Structures are given as C-alpha cells and as structure tokens.
C-alpha cells in the first residue's frame, strides 16, 4: 500500500494507515454521503484516501472515518446508546447473568463511541426478548425522546438489539422519519451470545406456530 494521495491543503500525511481499510463505496455508505461528498472531505483534508498499487482501488482508514463521523454529529440534540440483553437462562458452566452480558455490551458500545469521537449523552438499557416490547421500558424512553425532538442519534451494536426481523426496519424508519439517525456498529450477529439468543427465539416461534396450527385444526367451525 502506497502513501495516501496528496491533498490540496498539503497538510502532513501519516506514512501508513493505522486501522481497518474499507473501499471508497463502503466508506461513503458508512458516512451516509455520496462519493462526491466523500471526495470533498479528502480535498478539505478531513480524511485521507489510500490507493492500492496492485489493484488500483481507493481505500479509506476506518479509524479516520469514525472520527469524521463523530465530528459531523449535530450537537444541539442528545446522542444515546441503546443496549439490550435477552433474559435467557445464564450461559456457561459458571453462569453468565443477563446483567453481566448487558454490561459487557454497554462497555463494547461505549468503547466504540470513544474511538469514533462520538459524544454520548446517555445509555438506555433493557432486558427482554427482541420479538416483543413486553417490559422494555428503554424502547418507550427512546420513543418519548424521539417524539420530543431531544435526540439526534441512537447507537446500537446490532440491529436486533432494537428488534428482530421486520421490527428493526420499522423502528429504523420511525427514527428516520423523526430526524433521528440509527447508527449500527455491526450488521450481523457476531457474538455467540447473539446467535444463541436467535436460536432461542426461533425455537419459541416454531413452538408457538405449531400450537396455533394445531389449535386451528381442532377448533369447531
């Protein structure tokens, strides 16, 4: 990887990227801007671009993009972190409680925000399943803050921390329509805990569907 392209402001450039590299299209999508706007950031010296001498592609340093993202956030409204842990049985031989797993998730997300330069004004947490809103007062608080125009961004580790399947998309649209950005750190279920939770939810869904089908078959007309 060669040194980054020269920028018009001629500010000193670091000799090598320090973080994960992403292709320019992915970088633009991450920032939520067009490729032209991304190039404008380069021209203003807000971020460096790197060119691979082998394949000719242009890449960007994820750490620089994180810092740029943090600097672009509106400061007049709050930025909140939302974390949810399922109330499934404690995991592992020693047992890992829902509260322990929830705190670990909060620590990961806050660490990400610190690295990204994202100012966090509050942390909202819930313990409950993704498939319903029972007992999830944290979601109610996000709705309230959104409708009162008090927040500009909600940061979550994965989309299913808010809800699963179409529910996550519905909640994201609700936030977007009210001018709130949903920032998702990871698109997939990258921890074993989240994959186990999905299996548990799917098992309950199958059992509930079977019970409904059997009930319909035995019900009188």
pLDDT tens digits, 154-200: 999 988 888 877 788 888 889 888 888 889 888 766 556 556 665 55
Residue 62 near residue 18, CB atoms below 8 Å: no
Q: Judge if 125 and 147 occupy the same domain.
A: yes
Question: Does 101 map to a domain?
Answer: yes
Whether residue 122 lies inside any domain: the answer is yes
Per-residue pLDDT reduced to its tens digit, 141-158: 999 999 888 999 999 998
- Based on the domain organization, do 119 and 81 belong to the same domain? yes
190 within a domain of the structure (yes/no): yes
User: Beta strands 50-51 and 58-61: pairing type?
Assistant: antiparallel
pLDDT at 126: 94
Same domain, 188 and 84: yes
Range of the domain at 27: 21-70
3-state secondary structure 73-94: CCCCCEEEEEEEECCCCCCCCC
> Hey, is 14 helix, strand or coil?
coil
Task: Report how far residue 198's alpha carbon sits from residue 201's, in angstroms, rounded to the nearest whole number.
Answer: 5
pLDDT digits (tens, 9 = 90+) for 13-70: 444 555 578 888 888 888 888 899 999 999 988 888 888 888 888 889 887 887 787 6
pLDDT at 102: 92
Residue 213: inside a domain, yes or no?
no
Band (pLDDT 50/70/90 cuts) for residue 5 is low
Q: Are residues 113 and 47 in the same domain?
A: no
Domain match, 50 and 151 both: no
pLDDT at 91: 56
Domain presence at residue 9: no
pLDDT value, residue 12? 42
Are 65 and 97 found together in one domain?
no
pLDDT value at position 14? 44
CATH of the domain at 114: 3.40.50.1390
């Amino acid at each position: 990887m060669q040194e980054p392209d020269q920028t018009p402001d001629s500010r000193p450039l670091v000799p090598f990227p320090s973080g994960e590299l992403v292709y320019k299209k992915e970088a633009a999508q991450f920032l939520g801007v067009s490729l032209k706007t991304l190039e404008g950031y380069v021209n203003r010296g807000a971020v460096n671009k790197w060119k691979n001498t082998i394949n000719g592609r242009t890449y960007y340093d994820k750490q620089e993009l994180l810092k740029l993202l943090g600097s672009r956030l509106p400061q007049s409204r709050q930025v909140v972190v939302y974390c949810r842990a399922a109330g499934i049985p404690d995991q592992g031989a020693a047992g890992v409680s829902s509260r322990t797993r929830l705190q670990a998730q909060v620590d990961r997300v806050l660490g990400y925000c610190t690295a990204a330069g994202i100012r966090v004004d509050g942390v909202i947490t819930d313990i409950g399943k993704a498939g319903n809103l029972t007992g999830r007062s944290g979601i109610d608080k996000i709705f309230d803050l959104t409708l009162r125009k008090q927040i500009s961004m909600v940061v979550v580790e994965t989309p299913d921390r808010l809800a699963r399947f179409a529910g996550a998309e519905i909640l994201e649209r609700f936030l977007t329509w009210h001018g709130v950005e949903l920032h998702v750190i990871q698109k997939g279920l990258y921890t074993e805990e989240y994959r186990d939770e999905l299996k548990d939810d799917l098992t309950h869904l199958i059992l509930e569907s079977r019970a409904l089908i059997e009930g319909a078959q035995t019900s009188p007309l």
